[in-house]
């Protein structure tokens, strides 16, 4: 694979209706993008209207939502021509990583490429180099699927340019990407406030202590009632509860920003190991059509270790 030298963030505006439309009928009517050169750090922009095969006038809803008028599409090129121009502007798919804010843009690209006979090999090259950055951001920071504007606001940034202009949407997605990558401690602070400590606003210096305190409470609440034997329905709920805790703390376990100390990162990793063992045990019992789940010694060894640490964390917290 060619060396990665640039990022391309892209966005489509599509046909739309407040009465509902099949996705296959929501043809692209504008393509915007921004290209970031990893070597020179130069930005390049792309913005083209696309004439759809559907010749009906745009609905008032679509005009208001996208800011696009029928006159903008009258002399526009068809999708195949605009996409060809886009590829020329990209200037090397193999050296590019493609991003968008939600996978719907990639789905739109695939659907319209198929409709217009674009070679599948070309599209597959893009698919294999594509990242849904909204999904990454949701999993690593936001704990929901925020709009571009709301994601910017988490970093104290305002939207630049016209909303629902795909070029500006792409540019602002790039700005979120830069903030996300270049401010790892702020990103993990946002994550902690949204995954673990919802409704609280803390300084970076407070995050480690508060997360350790919350983790200690969660461990005490989870393990204090742990039993050796469960009915399978109860065991299923236990596994789900452990999974929810893992989701809350997975970014702490994988943290590399320095905001979390080794102790809390190790403890959260240990709980994830406990969860994997519990899940494996549960699935084995399901395989044998068991009516009860019997926990093994390994499950309880994690309980002893994590409860002991939770107790120490609680004592440290009281001392503070």
Whole-number Å distance between alpha carbons of 250 and 175: 25
Whole-number percent of the chain with pLDDT over 90:
81
Do 202 and 293 belong to one domain? yes
3-state secondary structure of 12: strand
Domain at 133, CATH number: 3.30.420.10
Q: What value, to the nearest 5°, has the Cα angle with vertex 20 and ends 15 and 25?
A: 40
Which pairs with CB-CB distance under 8 Å and at least 24 residues apart come from 47-51?
Answer: 47/165, 47/166, 47/167, 48/76, 48/77, 48/82, 48/85, 48/86, 49/73, 49/76, 49/77, 49/82, 50/76, 50/77, 50/78, 50/79, 50/82, 51/75, 51/76, 51/77, 51/78
Whether residues 159 and 109 fall in one domain: yes
96-100/130-132 β-pairing: parallel
Residue 129, SS3?
A: coil
**pLDDT category of residue 313 using cuts at 50, 70 and 90:** low
Q: What is the mean pLDDT of the chain?
A: 92
In 3D space, the residue among 298, 297, 247 whose CA is nearest the CA of residue 274 turns out to be 298
Strand ranges (E), the chain: 6-14, 28-37, 43-49, 96-100, 130-132, 229-231, 292-294
- 207 vs 226: which has the higher pLDDT: 207
Q: What is the tens place of the pLDDT at every residue in 63-114?
A: 999 999 999 999 999 999 999 999 999 999 999 999 999 999 999 999 999 9
Question: Which strand ranges, in their side-by-side order, compose the sheet holding 96-100?
Answer: 43-49, 28-37, 6-14, 96-100, 130-132
Q: What is the pLDDT of residues 147-156, one digit of tens each?
A: 999 999 999 9
Asked if residue 275 is part of any domain, the answer here is yes
87 and 228, same domain (yes or no): no
Do 121 and 251 fall into the same domain?
no
Q: Is position 137 within any domain?
A: yes
The pLDDT value recorded for residue 160 is 98
Say how far apart CA 240 and CA 296 lie, in whole Å. 18
Residue 319 lies in a domain: no
Q: Which of 151, 181, 211 is the last residue of a domain?
A: 181
What is the count of structural domains for the chain?
A: 2
The tens digit of pLDDT for each residue in 44-55 reads: 999 999 999 998
276 within a domain of the structure (yes/no): yes
Q: Is residue 108 part of a domain?
A: yes
Looking at the fold, whether 118 and 199 belong to one and the same domain comes out as no
Domain of 171, in residue numbers: 4-181
Three-state DSSP class for residue 41: coil
Among residues 147, 181, 215, which one ends one of the domains? 181
pLDDT at 72: 92
Please check whether residue 217 lies inside any domain of the structure. yes
- Residue 145 lies inside a defined structural domain of this protein: yes
pLDDT digit string, tens, across residues 228-238 = 899 999 999 99
The answer to whether residues 112 and 45 belong to one domain is yes
Chain-centre distance of CA 106, in angstroms?
Answer: 15
- 173 and 257 together in one domain: no
Do 274 and 228 share a domain, yes or no? yes
Interatomic CA distance for residues 188 and 294, integer angstroms: 37
Choose one of 149, 181, 213: the last residue of a domain.
181
Measured between alpha carbons, how far is 234 from 293 in angstroms, rounded to an integer? 9
- Looking at the structure, do residues 203 and 153 belong to the same domain, yes or no? no
Give the per-residue pLDDT at 164: 85
Within this chain, do residues 16 and 147 fall inside the same structural domain, yes or no?
yes
The pTM score is 0.89
Provide the 8-state DSSP code for 141. Answer: I
In this structure, the answer to whether residues 194 and 307 fall within a common structural domain is yes
Q: How would you class 227 by CB atoms within 10 Å of its CB: exposed for 0-12, middle for 13-18, buried for 19 or more?
A: exposed
- Would you call 77 helix, strand, or coil by DSSP? strand
Lowest mean pLDDT among 34-38, 65-69, 107-111, 311-315: 311-315
**Both 8 and 150 in a single domain?**
yes
**Is residue 252, in this structure, part of any structural domain at all?**
yes
């Amino acid at each position: 694979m060619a060396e990665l030298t640039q990022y391309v963030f892209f966005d489509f505006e599509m046909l739309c209706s407040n009465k509902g439309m099949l996705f296959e009928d929501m043809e692209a009517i504008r393509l915007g993008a921004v290209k970031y050169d990893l070597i020179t750090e130069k930005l390049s922009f792309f913005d083209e209207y696309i004439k759809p095969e559907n010749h009906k006038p745009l609905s008032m809803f679509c005009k208001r939502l996208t800011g696009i008028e029928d006159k903008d599409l009258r002399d526009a090129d068809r999708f195949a021509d605009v996409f060809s121009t886009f590829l020329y502007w990209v200037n090397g798919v193999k050296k590019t990583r493609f991003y968008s804010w939600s996978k719907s843009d990639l789905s739109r690209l695939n659907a319209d490429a198929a409709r217009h006979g674009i070679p599948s090999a070309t599209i597959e090259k893009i698919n294999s180099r594509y990242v849904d950055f909204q999904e990454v951001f949701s999993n690593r920071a936001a704990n929901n699927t925020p709009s571009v504007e709301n994601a910017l606001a988490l970093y104290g940034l305002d939207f630049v340019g016209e909303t629902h202009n795909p070029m500006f949407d792409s540019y602002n997605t790039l700005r979120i990407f830069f903030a996300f990558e270049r401010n790892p401690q702020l990103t993990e602070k946002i994550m902690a406030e949204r995954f673990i400590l919802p409704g609280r606003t803390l300084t970076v210096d407070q995050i480690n202590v508060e997360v350790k305190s919350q983790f200690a409470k969660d461990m005490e609440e989870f393990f204090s009632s742990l039993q050796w034997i469960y009915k399978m329905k109860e065991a299923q709920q236990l596994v789900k509860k452990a999974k929810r805790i893992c989701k809350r703390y997975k970014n702490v376990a994988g943290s590399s920003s320095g905001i979390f100390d080794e102790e809390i990162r190790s403890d959260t990793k240990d709980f994830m190991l406990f969860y994997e063992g519990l899940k494996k045990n549960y699935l084995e019992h399901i395989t044998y059509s068991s009516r009860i789940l019997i926990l093994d010694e390994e499950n309880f060894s994690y309980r002893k270790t994590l409860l002991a640490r939770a107790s120490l964390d609680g004592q440290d917290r009281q001392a503070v």
